[in-house]
Chain A
Amino acid sequence: MVSCKIVNALYAAVPSRVFRDYLIRTHLEKCDGCQARYISRSEAEALFIKPGNANPASGLWEKIECQIGQEAAVPEQRLTGLRWEWAVGAVTFLVLAAASFWLLRGVQTKAVRADYIWPAGHFGINYINVGGAPAQAFVYQPKGADIIIVWAEKKS
């Protein structure tokens, strides 16, 4: 038929999935003449191996059972292991956090008062007023850095 020839020519010429699907649904699936160019379900069924002839060698279930039996025991251990790992991690973090906090406090207490370091010709503070009254001042100079930090607080 002319329409079949046109459809088949279009199918071959236009490699668009959507267009080909349209041609299949509208013509190729319904046309007996075109269906003759394709293998039928019964022919394909005869060609392919059938489930009835595809039995595996014995022992497939035993292998599967062995594997899943092992895995059934493992998750509990794995979970316990994970809990321990989390606990150790959390404790380590807390210890490190406490140690860091303590060390930083130590640095603050070791800070030298401003009036104790007066590197002549470099840096000096006579006094600092906070709120109109002399304040307590601390000077920090990190090692190897070119910055000086001055901390002033109101005397209590």
Chain B
Amino acid sequence: MDEQGIIKRCLKGETGEFRQIVNQYTPPLMAVAMTVLGNRQDAEDICQETFIQAYRHLSSFDTEKSLRTWLYTILYRRCLNAAKRKKIFSGILNRLKTEPQTWTPTSDPGPEEQLFLPPGLYRTLSPKERTVLSLWANDGYTAHDISEVVGCSASTVRVTLFNARRKIKAFLENKHGVMQNC
């Protein structure tokens, strides 16, 4: 059944039909969420919240538009909020810690904090840049498509994308250079 048919049936109260949407879009949403948040558990929570919010507001969805982009839009906002919360929370925790903490980028992250990018890139790229890059690389989204997700103009996305691409290139070259020197 096509998406429009599924959405219509969901709106009639057949909640079971929504499972098809969840199954279809969970992997791409998870990929973006994991890239932005760097943590599988947080990504799962955000995906769950995204689908629930989408279900709640399914009646307001314009079926002429892409469902995938709409879901990405919800996910992106939720990821940003989660990242902000995490930053605030970790800031508070760091203040509470009395012992000095050392962090090495090459250390193996534990299962709780499993990173899905080289650790240095999490510091180099902002959540917005990670989202833009992930959509561009994994989904083949254009600047116009991405602008719908992140809520800014296509030109802003193009500049953000180019800056992020240059940062990664510089990071990888630097890392590779360091490894060669070693």
Contact = CB atoms under 8 A, between A and B. Distances in A.
A106 interface: no
Sorting the interface of chain A by its residue count into under 10, 10 to 19, 20 to 34 or 35 or more gives 35 or more
B165 A48 contact: no
Given A38-B166, A71-B52, 8 more contacts: A18-B155, A21-B156, A24-B162, A48-B31, A60-B47, A61-B19, A67-B48, A71-B55
B23 interface: yes
B138 A45 contact: yes
B31 A49 contact: yes
B137 interface: yes
A55 B27 contact: yes
B56 A71 contact: yes
Contact of B27 (A41, A43, A51, A65): A51
Nearest to A36: B169
A67 B52 contact: yes
A97 B116 CA distance: 66
A80 to B, nearest CB: 17
Contacts of A18: 155
25 contacts: A17-B155, A17-B156, A17-B159, A24-B158, A37-B166, A41-B137, A41-B140, A43-B172, A44-B133, A44-B137, A47-B168, A48-B116, A48-B137, A49-B34, A51-B27, A51-B28, A51-B31, A56-B44, A56-B47, A57-B40, A57-B44, A60-B22, A60-B48, A64-B55, A67-B48
B174 interface: no
Contact of A44 (B51, B118, B168): B168
A17 B154 CA distance: 11
Interface of A: 17-18, 20-21, 24-25, 28, 37-39, 41, 43-45, 47-57, 60-61, 63-65, 67-69, 71-72
Query: Secondary structure at chain B's binding surface: helix, strand, loop or mixed?
Result: helix
B42 to A, nearest CB: 12
B75 interface: no
Nearest to A63: B48
B142 to A, nearest CB: 12
Contacts of A69: 15
Contacts of B172: 39, 43
A68 B55 contact: yes
A93 B130 CA distance: 56
A38 B169 contact: yes
